Amino acid sequence: MVFSSLSFVFFILPLFLLCDRLTMLQPLASARWVRNIPLLVLSLFFYTWGESATVFLLLGLSLLNYLAGMAVHRFSRPLPVLFGTVSVNLLVLFFYKYCHWFLTSIFPALAWDAPALPLGISFFTFHAISYLVDIYRKVIPPARNALDFFTYFCMFPHLVAGPIIRYSQIQNEIVAARKPSSDLFCFGMYRFLLGLNKKVLIANTIAPLADIAFNSTPANLTVLDAWIGAVAYTIQLYFDFSGYSDMAIGLAAMAGFRFEENFFRPYSAASVREFWRRWHISLSRWFVDYLFIPLGGSRASAFITYRNLLLVFVLCGLWHGADATFLLWGLWHGVFLVFERLSGGDKPLLPCAIRRLYTMAVVVLGWVLFRAETTESAFAFLAQMASGPFAVPLFAVHVVPLVALGVGVLLCALPDRLFPRPTAHTEETLPTLHFCVHALLAVISFGMLCLSSTNPFLYFNF
């Protein structure tokens, strides 16, 4: 189930809000743990709706990591427990996500169907690792009880597609009696509507352009077709995933939690390094804190720093999927990060507009690798972008998707200062006009959802 589905908006969400509000009535409101119960129950119901028996894998990993967290905290020599439990988490992820690709790459004749990928396994595996490592580093104490940990681990706003939330970021809300806050609730509703509109009005509308381009034989595309398809996927992916993150942040706020931001207008970046400070921020910070820095970060020699960057981004690519295209995409970004360090990226010599064009060129070409089914089709698509025929594009008849694409490009190209946005931490009062505009747009979104037969989230595939 996706957040932008009618069943979620008109059934799961109202049911959750009703149960959550009932727990705030006296005398229940005085109990610190009581709001976690409906959140956990609805989270498991939400996951079971789409995943069925896979929920038992989620519960098993929850119990394993909860017990391991207590052991890491209490044992005088916790490293074996930490290493063993992290290994189990990674082995489960490897079995479901990479084992089939790895074995069939070595033994092409192997007749074995890949196991169904549990929804969100890449995200909750990283949740588990961050929890255990933070306890080992004494950044946080372990969860007080199983209810607290299961609530964190299985919380439906971040369960299936992030953002990657660390226990340290929300432990205070989990263990405390979350008081009702009208400002936080209104902020949450606004962010949910904002994300819904980004997903439905922009991402879903643009999707046919990207699908037609990447599902066609590259040789049949004109130069304009190839570029329109690549740019369409670039805009679709951003509005799809950032829209989901907005909805997740909004749902968490309605439940009394303050999630960290996961996107900050990444297509405004003036370098690849800055892009990764703005794109999927929770994943970037996870890799920095739990892989790049432990490997030595940038404190060692230049060679070690460049090696670490390349390794981190190769693994970042593979985190998104088990295919050579993802590996190449990660390596592509890693190479440009190394290049920017070598060229003194912190002291730019070119105008900002030129640097933004360079960054977007790198990002758009990288998304071709990310989207293509095979490396051969990716390189063929890139070749059409460089030297295809200059004919009337196939997309000339797709007026509505092209208009949506133009709106998406414009929104990404405008300066950051035109998009002030309150966060869950500031709890600034929302302008009434902004809320009303997105509420009206949401009516259109609901209408489009009623008429549409497909409404996937792209990052559910990763």
The catalytic site residues sit at: 320
Q: Which amino acid is at 402?
A: L
Q: For residue 33, what are its two tokens?
A: 């743990």
Map the chain to HEC letters.
Answer: CCCCCHHHHHHHHHHHHHHHHHCCCCCHHHCCCCCHHHHHHHHHHHHHHHHHHHHHHHHHHHHHHHHHHHHHHHCCCCHHHHHHHHHHHHHHHHHHHCHHHHHHHHCCCCCCCCCCCCCCHHHHHHHHHHHHHHHHCCCCCCCCCHHHHHHHHHCHHHHCCCCCCCHHHHHHHHHCCCCCCHHHHHHHHHHHHHHHHHHHHHHHHHHHHHHHHHHCCHHHCCHHHHHHHHHHHHHHHHHHHHHHHHHHHHHHHHCCCCCCCCCCCHHHCCCHHHHHHHCCHHHHHHHHHHHHCCCCCCCCCHHHHHHHHHHHHHHHHHHHCCCHHHHHHHHHHHHHHHHHHHCCCCCCCCCHHHHHHHHHHHHHHHHHHHHCCCHHHHHHHHHHHHHCCCCCCHHHHCHHHHHHHHHHHHHHHCCHHHCCCCCCCCCCCCCHHHHHHHHHHHHHHHHHHHHCCCCCCHHHHC
Cis peptide before 163 (omega within 30 of 0): yes
Q: Please, what is the Cα angle at 39 between 240 and 172, to 5 degrees? A: 95
Residue 33 C-beta-side C-alpha neighbours within 13 Å = 11
Question: By the 8 A CB rule, do 196 and 4 touch?
Answer: yes
CA distance 158 to 345: 34
Long-range (24+ apart) CB contacts under 8 A made by 47-51 are 47/119, 47/120, 47/154, 47/156, 47/159, 47/160, 49/1, 49/12, 50/1, 50/119, 50/160, 51/118, 51/119
